[in-house]
Amino acid sequence: MGRLIDLTLPYDSRLPAWPGEPKPTVRRIASIKDGDAANVTHLSAAMHFGTHVDAPVHFIEGAAGVETLDLDVLIGPAWVAELDQHRAITAADLEAAGIPAGTRRLLLRTPNSALWTDPGHPFHQDFVALAPDAARWLVEAGVRLVGVDYLSVEPFDAPPGNPTHTILLAAGIIPLEGLDLRQASPGAGTLICLPLKLPGADGAPARVVLMQD
């Protein structure tokens, strides 16, 4: 077995959240030291915080929830591509990135990854994400899951209609967002992505691991 790399950010309120969205809260509601039989914690969760997946219903009204995402897509061979530009990723960038034909799970390591050196950094609006033509390239290439190293596959200043998300989700491609790819090497690996099974939810936090030689 190769080395296991945890690509999951800690589910910690110190992480940046998308502007206007709440952060999770973790609260102890029973404590042994206070005389209770056990320590018990209450979690108020945010679906699109930290490492998470998007479901089709996130941007397509009436579409499927996160519980329908296919485990055969969430787990299996993956390719890590390194892209070093500080701008939106285009179809031409993906074409030039040396991504093997037939890749179904693609993880994009960009300059965003360095931001997680300080997990408590303020939200960074200029993160690297996918332009709409890059989303169309992924559809045409047969990719089924695309992972990115910041909180969205789509640029912060996306036009109305959120075309990158809509193109991906309408084609059945799973966006996997908020990855920590600092320890991942460019090249092949095996991805294990297990989001919470929340019926009807538009996304869910996920534990994500990559196995590489």
In single-letter form, the type of residue at position 179 comes to: L
Q: Please check the confidence at residue 176 and state whether its pLDDT lies above 90.
A: yes
Give CA angle at 210 (106, 138), nearest 5°. 5
> Residue 1 has what pLDDT?
72
Q: pLDDT for 35-48, tens place per residue?
A: 999 999 999 999 99
Which one of the listed residues 48, 58, 86, 121 is annotated catalytic? 58
The total domain count for the chain is: 1
Q: What is the pTM of this model?
A: 0.97
For residues 20 and 38, what is the distance between their CA atoms, to the nearest angstrom? 35
DSSP state of 42: E
**Banded model confidence at residue 57, pLDDT cuts 50, 70, 90:** very high
For residues 8 and 18, what is the distance between their CA atoms, to the nearest angstrom? 17
107, 112, 80, 159: which is closest to 16 by C-alpha? Answer: 112
Range of the domain at 20: 3-212
Q: Catalytic site residue 124?
A: no
CA-based diameter of the chain, in Å? 62
Q: pLDDT for 77-126, tens place per residue?
A: 999 999 999 999 999 999 999 999 999 999 999 999 999 999 999 999 99
Give CA angle at 136 (132, 139), nearest 5°. 140
CATH code where residue 18 lies? 3.50.30.50
169, 182, 180, 175: which is closest to 204 by C-alpha? Answer: 175
For residues 42 and 38, what is the distance between their CA atoms, to the nearest angstrom? 13
Name the percent of the chain lying above pLDDT 70: 100
